[in-house]
Structures are given as C-alpha cells and as structure tokens.
Chains A and B, each alone.
Chain A
C-alpha cells in the first residue's frame, strides 16, 4: 500500500520563527490533507491540497504530485501553533485516508 513519511518528527522553535514540514508519499494521490491536532486532541483541517499551492494567513502548503511530496509552511510562529501536524492522503486505489506519523511542533514564547 501507499507509504507516507513526515519529517521532521519533532521541531522546537522560538515564537516568531518560520518552519517547513514535509510529507513524502510513495504513489499517486487523489486526496491530500494537512491537519493540526491541538493539545486537547481536536483535529483541524488546514488544507485540502492534492496538487498546487494554497495559502491561508500565516500558513501555506504546496503539493508537487509528480515528485510525490507536500510541504507545509508556517511563518511567524505563535505559541498556539504548537501541536502535532499530520499529513493524510488517499491513493488512487484506496478509499481510506492513510496518515503519516506526524510532526510534533513546540513553539516556545
């Protein structure tokens, strides 16, 4: 089945710093989403981005489907950005989302 790898597994930054999170996948996809899970467990849908680039405030994401990776950019980090960021995707022959292991981000004040 399709494999998903996220990097880095952990990231600790000072408030105001920028960061790039990466998601590599092993096959073509028809659905790719980035989620933020806050410390209370709520999963927030950040981007639905099987291809191309999207921006929402301080966050942006790019998926290069032909090279099988997606990037999530966080600029001017705030402490509320802390949590775990997941990449989840669906391959052409799948009906379920396959999840990466996540990147745990800690933003220090």
Chain B
C-alpha cells in the first residue's frame, strides 16, 4: 500500500453533470498530481498542486479544476461532464518533484 487513498472507487454520472473526486496524500507528502487514464493508454497529466497552489497544468480544459487543502489532501472537480471524460482518474503524492506514489484510482463512467 502506498498510503494514498482516493474516493470514491467507482462513479457513474450522466453527461452535463459535475463530479468531485478526492485524494488523501501519503503522510509527509506536500505535492499532489492528478492524471486521467483512458482504457489501454498511459496516464495523462491533468495538473499538480504544491502547498495549496496549482504548480503546473497539462492540456486539459478549464472545466477540470482542483484544490489542495492545508493538510495536503486534494480534490479534482470536473464540470459539464462529457462522454470522453470516462476514464480512470489517478492521484499521486510526492515530496516536491520526487518519486510519485499513486492511489488506487477512481473509475468514472459518463453515460
């Protein structure tokens, strides 16, 4: 186990809805990165948070947003869900830009 927990494990939403995914980082880790992984592909970087500030962002639209809290846990919010948002969403925690440790992921299905 990595010590990184994600909730919920599975989620079903309909197109146009909004979703919030949660991640608790490993103890002592101050950086959280979020990834989207479509079936059969490698993870795609969404964004990273360091000490409650967005530290970098991949090629995702603004309807993907996030937060990091003082205890370094994090949320990923997706508005106006589209069918293509169906994927495994992975959270990874690290100490700065060091090795990343992943949670088990949230599998999102958009119908």
Residue numbers of A with Cβ under 8 A of B are: 30-31, 33, 35, 40-45, 48, 86, 88, 90, 95-97, 99-102
Choose among B43, B55, B97 the residue that contacts A99 (Cβ–Cβ < 8 A).
B43
What is the distance, in angstroms, from B97's C-beta to the closest C-beta of chain A? 6
Indicate whether A41 sits within 8 Å of B56 (C-beta atoms), given known contacts A96-B45, A96-B48, A99-B43: no
Rounded to whole angstroms, the CA-CA distance of A38 and B36 in the bound complex is 16
Q: Which B residues are closer than 8 A to A by beta carbons?
A: 2, 33, 37, 41-45, 48, 55-56, 58, 88, 90, 92, 97-102, 104-105, 107
Chain A nearest CB from B38 CB (Å) reads 12
Interface-centre pick from B42, B97, B99, B100 (highest chain A CB count, 10 A): B42
A41 B107 Cβ-Cβ under 8 A: yes
Q: Give me 10 other A-B pairs in contact (C-beta within 8 A), A44-B2, A88-B42, A97-B45 excluded.
A: A31-B98, A31-B99, A40-B104, A42-B105, A43-B92, A45-B100, A48-B99, A96-B33, A99-B43, A101-B41
Which B residues lie within 8 Å of A88 (CB)?
A: 42-43, 100
CB pair B42 A99 closer than 8 Å:
yes
A44 to B88 CA separation, bound complex (whole angstroms): 15
Given contacts A41-B88, A41-B105, A86-B42, contact A96 B58 (CB under 8 A): yes
Is B42 a contact of A96 with CB atoms below 8 Å? Answer: no
Q: Give the CA-CA distance A101 to B41 in the complex, in Å.
A: 7
Check A45 against B102 for contact (C-beta < 8 Å): yes
B99 A33 Cβ-Cβ under 8 A: yes
Is the beta-carbon distance between A95 and B42 smaller than 8 angstroms?
no
Closest residue on chain A to residue B102 by CB atoms: A43
Q: Are A95 and B97 in contact (CB under 8 A)?
A: yes
